[in-house]
Amino acid sequence: MEEAEVLCDRLAIMDHGRILESGTVKELVGRHFKERAVRFDTIDGLGDERLRAIEGVASMLHENGEVVLYTRDVPATIGGVLAAAEDVQSEPENLTIRRPTLEDVFLALTGRALRD
């Protein structure tokens, strides 16, 4: 997916032989996400309900042992994650912030990660 983002002017997202959407990377990402992704390793004892209630969180998902929170208010969300982690006497590990990618669009459209 990273190569497609760099090399392609236009592309189509397909699943099971069916084109789900097409356009430029910017168009595809813009149609599905207005937020940034805040990622961190799953924290034992910190439930989804608490994470979804953090200020700014529009949606969330679990992916390969990580929590991904999509937010329009990164500072408020980071503060909320730190406070929630502190409540369970932990710290978020591998905390990163990034813009949504083409892979996020694929996951949103198909409901599953890329297959080899």
Count of structural domains, the chain: 2
- The count of C-alpha atoms lying within 13 angstroms of the C-alpha of 44, restricted to the half-sphere facing its C-beta, is 1
β-pair partners for 41: 66
- CA 28/CA 82 separation, integer angstroms: 31
Q: Could you give the percent of the chain with pLDDT greater than 70?
A: 96
- CA 35/CA 37 separation, integer angstroms: 7
Q: What is the mean pLDDT of residues 18-43?
A: 92
- CA 43/CA 88 separation, integer angstroms: 9
Q: What is the mean pLDDT of residues 64-87?
A: 95
> Could you tell me if 57 and 29 lie in one domain?
no
> Could you tell me if 41 and 77 lie in one domain?
yes
pLDDT for the residue numbered 116? 42
> Could you tell me if 55 and 94 lie in one domain?
yes
Write the pLDDT tens digit of every residue in 31-57.
988 889 999 999 999 999 999 999 999
> Could you tell me if 26 and 5 lie in one domain?
yes
> Could you tell me if 28 and 78 lie in one domain?
no
> Could you tell me if 113 and 75 lie in one domain?
no
Q: What does the longest C-alpha to C-alpha distance in the chain come to?
A: 47
Domain residues for 23?
1-33+100-116
